[in-house]
Amino acid sequence: MRWTWLAITVLSSTVGDLVSAKGMVQHGELEHFGARRVGRLLRYIGTHPLIVTGIAFNALSFFSFLALLSVAELSFAVPATALSYILKTALSHWYLGEHVSARRWLGAACVAIGVYLIAI
Q: Say how far apart CA 119 and CA 99 lie, in whole Å.
A: 29
Q: Could you say whether residue 11 binds other proteins (CB under 8 A)? A: no
Dihedral pair phi/psi, residue 50, rounded to 5°: -65, -40
Name the helix (H) or strand (E) containing 66.
helix 49-71
CA-wise closest residue to 6 among 80, 71, 111, 74: 80
Q: How far is the CB of 4 from other proteins (least distance, A)?
A: 13
Q: Does 109 bind other proteins (CB under 8 A)?
A: yes
Closest by CA to 25, choosing from 47, 58, 57, 48, is: 48
Question: Residues 17-56 vs other proteins: string with x where CB under 8 A?
Answer: xx-xx--xxxxxxxx-x-------xx--x-----x---x-
User: Could you list the residues that contact other proteins (CB under 8 A)?
Assistant: 17-18, 20-21, 24-31, 33, 41-42, 45, 51, 55, 58, 62, 66-67, 69-71, 73-75, 78-79, 82, 85, 88-89, 92-93, 96-101, 103-104, 106-120
